[in-house]
Structure 1
Amino acid sequence: MPQPTPQPPLLSQRAAVILMLGALAAVAAAVLTVLAGGVLASGLLAGGGAFVAAVLFFNVIIGG
């Protein structure tokens, strides 16, 4: 019986690490913004900006 061909991964390991680090930066920025007295909407906006900046930063730092 022939073995079925395995599916290729959806994301490369490099892409998964970069997105994970971006998500961690976003959560940290959002939590710190809210704890500093900002409203939830401000925290979410700060988290979104931190996510974009972190993904761009780690994409350059983690060479591929």
Structure 2
Amino acid sequence: MDRPLLTVRSALILLLGVLVGVAAGLLTALADGGGAARSVIVGAAAFAAAVAFFNALIAQDRP
């Protein structure tokens, strides 16, 4: 029970994905002027792409 739920690598990848998704959603909302659904979809797509990108970019832990 002393093991963490997420590794540092996983937490970093998810954090970066969330930051990219929120930024993309906010920029879409500001540029679009009221398209909330479009902003959420763009943010979710950016999150998924960022997680895949950072997962490939950040080296895995070596035991």
Structure 2 stretches lacking a partner, 5+ long: none
Q: Which residue of structure 2 lines up, in the alignment, with residue 12 of structure 1?
A: 7
Percent of aligned pairs with the same amino acid: 49
Any residues of structure 2 matched to 1:41-56 within 5 Å, and which? Answer: 41-56=37-52
Root-mean-square deviation (CA, aligned residues, Å) is 1.0
Which residue does 1:3 correspond to in 2? none
- Report deviation, 1:7: 1.4
For structure 1, the 5+ residue unaligned runs are 1-5
- Residue aligned with 2:4, SS: coil
How many residues of Structure 1 are paired with residues of Structure 2 in the alignment? 59
CA apart distance, 1:37: 1.5
The 2-side partners of 1:41 and 1:33 are apart by 10
Per the normalisation by structure 1, the TM-score is 0.88
**Inter-partner Cα distance in structure 2 for 1:37 and 1:30:** 10
